[in-house]
Amino acid sequence: MDTPITIEEIILLANVPDNLHTAFLRVVNGLHERAKYPKEKVFLMLVKMLNDPKKYAFSKNKVTNLAKTVYDLRKAGTEIALTEAGKEVLKSEEAVLVPEDKTAQARAAFSLRENKLDYAVFGKEHIEEGALAQMETAVSLPISVAGALMPDAHQGYGLPIGGVLATEPDKVIPYAVGVDIACRMCMSVFDIPTNYLRREPHFLKKILTENTKFGMGGETARKYDESVMDQPEWEATKVIRSLKDKAYRQLGTSGNRPPQRRHPRRLRRTRHYPRLDEPAGIRHPRQSQS
């Protein structure tokens, strides 16, 4: 670690009055010696605060108390102005990319691969064309290594909701995220012969309509004995604990949009429009829709 910051180094950046020398030294050396900030970072933080003390005085940060003092002085008519050296430090932070940096970025540009990856599609006959087109683009990225579309897939903004894309381990795509909050699928296996459901299709429809609720504020008529409610995650925070009973009442519900009429054979295509206050990860096992 470097030697402690001196008052001479500070007044090279700003005209700090004598009566505040001790306060400034205490703050900057606290950052430098205890928080292990390099001098350059401390100097930058200092000049940014002095340039806009009000911003730092009314937000929680490492120099809040010092910023309040500087801001009060400014309101009283005494401003701690930056020197030319201090202004240069501030300019270096605000500088735009130099031509060399722009050239480096241009070299990093890439094109889609000509031969896209093969990927799995589950329930393709029920997936809209927009979602398929988005997935085609995703698996054409040169950093993609695998992909798949789930039966509930529908068009998103970048990657389709219900789409899964694996990339090279050191690559991240922030835009490849679905926008349906908490949208997911859940599969349950029942001890019922498949031919029974073919003979009694109304039985499946009855189960779905009785155990799935649609629309704002929808809640199930009775609580189910669900192991998902016993998971330790429910004790993680006070907010999560306060939502547990509400989540229990909403098991089997879907979204904040009224239900639409659909043919029974297409019930599994129903889109899930989740409630914004719905805890993530909670879905009734009987649901097979997103």
Q: pTM above 0.85?
A: no
pLDDT digits (tens, 9 = 90+) for 72-103: 999 999 999 999 999 988 887 655 434 444 45
SS3 for 147?
Answer: strand
pLDDT digits (tens, 9 = 90+) for 20-44: 999 999 999 999 888 888 998 999 9
Res 22: pLDDT: 94
Q: What is the mean pLDDT of residues 280-290?
A: 40
What angle, rounded to 10 degrees, do the helices at 64-75 and 21-29 form?
A: 150
Mean residue pLDDT of the chain comes to: 77
pLDDT digits (tens, 9 = 90+) for 222-254: 666 667 888 888 898 999 999 888 888 877 676
**214 has which bridge partners?**
254
Tokens 């910023």 appear where? 67
Going by C-alpha positions, the residue among 149, 171, 262 that lies closest to residue 209 is 262
**74 has which bridge partners?**
none
